[in-house]
Amino acid sequence: MLVDRVDPKERAPIGARDRVEESVMTWFIGWRLLPLIVFLLPLGAGCASNKLIPGTRIKDEPRNREVIKVVEQYRRAVEGRKVSQLMAMAHPHYYEHSGTPTGADDYGYKGLLKVIRKRIKQVMAVRCSLKYMRIHWPGKNQAEVEVYISASFQLKTEEGERWHRMTDYNKLVLVKDKDRWLFIRGM
């Protein structure tokens, strides 16, 4: 019987061969994955720069925060049924297109005052929440804020007080007049 005798000095330590094979595989897999890593890295960086304002789908930018702050003041004035505050938020050139073909129910700033007074008289309590869907900037000093409205309100009727619920989409259009954002449509 022949026995190969290997000098103990030449023999590799136990597991050394496995470590060499493992490091070669790691190197090979690493180089094969490099193009994928290079492709995905910018995508991850892009996601980090597109932070949203919490609770919205709106990009977190100072001008978006500024406009949302004004719309939230409007929402609170509606809930508080504060006519003078609401009118102070309307631009003197406010104009509402009611969406009917005749235009007989369209109104401007003075008509807005009549509409708000009439609605406030009928409403005893209002609860309103807005979900901010999108802000579009057609110009430097104009913002179009798309919102989903969920409101419940208590009305005075001939049969007594009744609670109603309403949900709808709306576009609020604001313009910057000097240093203030004012509503020009959508109130």
Q: How many CA atoms lie within 13 A of 99 on its CB side?
A: 4
* Closest residue by Cα to residue 51 from 37, 64, 35: 64
Q: Torsions phi, psi of 183, nearest 5? A: -80, 135
- pLDDT at position 158 is 86
Q: Which CATH number fits domain 62-185: 3.30.70.100, 3.40.50.10320, 3.10.105.10, 3.10.450.50?
A: 3.10.450.50
Tens-digit pLDDT profile for residues 68-115: 999 999 999 999 999 999 999 999 999 998 777 887 788 999 999 999
Round to whole Å and give the CA distance between 183 and 176. 9
The residues pairing with 147 across neighbouring beta strands, listed in sequence order, are 132, 170
Alpha helices, H only, 81-175: 83-88, 109-122
**Residue 62 pLDDT grade (very low, low, confident, very high; cuts 50, 70, 90):** very high
- pLDDT at position 21 is 56
Q: Torsions phi, psi of 47, nearest 5? A: -65, -35
Tens-digit pLDDT profile for residues 10-49: 555 555 555 555 555 555 555 565 555 555 555 555 555 5
Q: Where are the domains of the chain?
A: 62-185
**Residue 58 pLDDT grade (very low, low, confident, very high; cuts 50, 70, 90):** very high
What percent of the chain stands above pLDDT 90? 61
Section 120-132 average pLDDT: 94
Section 53-69 average pLDDT: 95
Tokens representing 173 are: 């259009």
- pLDDT at position 14 is 56
Considering only CA atoms, give the Rg of the chain.
Answer: 32
Tokens representing 151 are: 């409101």
Instruction: Say if residues 67 and 135 touch (Cβ distance below 8 Å).
Output: yes
Instruction: Say if residues 143 and 126 touch (Cβ distance below 8 Å).
Output: no
